[in-house]
Amino acid sequence: MSRNPVTSAMFLVTTMISISGLFVLLNAYFLAAVQILVYAGAVMVLFLFVIMLLDVEETARRKLRLVSLTMGFLSVAALFGVYKSSLEATYVKDVDSSQDIAAAATSVGESESLVTVGSTQALGKELFSSVNGFILPFEIVSILLLVAMIGVILLSKKETK
Pick out residues in 111-150 that bind other proteins (CB under 8 A).
111, 114-115, 119, 122-123, 126-127, 134, 137, 141, 144-145, 147-149
**Residue 66 is which amino acid?**
L
- Rule CB under 8 A: which of 95-114 touch other proteins? 95, 98-99, 101-102, 104-106, 108, 111, 114
Q: Which residues within the stretch 29-88 sit at the binding site for other proteins (CB under 8 A)?
A: 30-31, 34-35, 38-39, 42-43, 46-47, 50-51, 53-54, 56, 59-60, 62, 64, 68-69, 72-73, 75-77, 79-80, 83-84, 87-88
Q: How far is the CB of 89 from other proteins (least distance, A)?
A: 11
Nearer to other proteins among residue 73 and residue 131 (C-beta): 73
Q: What's the farthest any 2 CA atoms get from each other in the chain?
A: 67
In this structure, are residues 114 and 127 in contact, taking their beta carbons and an 8 Å threshold? no
Nearest-10 Cα torsion for 145, 147, 149, 150: 170
Residues in CB range of 59: below 8 A, 6 or more apart: none
SS3 label, residue 94 = coil
The site that binds other proteins (CB under 8 A) totals a number of residues, namely 77
Give the whole-angstrom CA distance, residue 10 versus residue 39: 12
| Long-range contact pairs involving 134-138 (C-beta distance under 8 Å, separation at least 24) | none
Q: How far is the CB of 151 from other proteins (least distance, A)?
A: 6
- State in angstroms the smallest separation of the CB of 37 from other proteins: 10
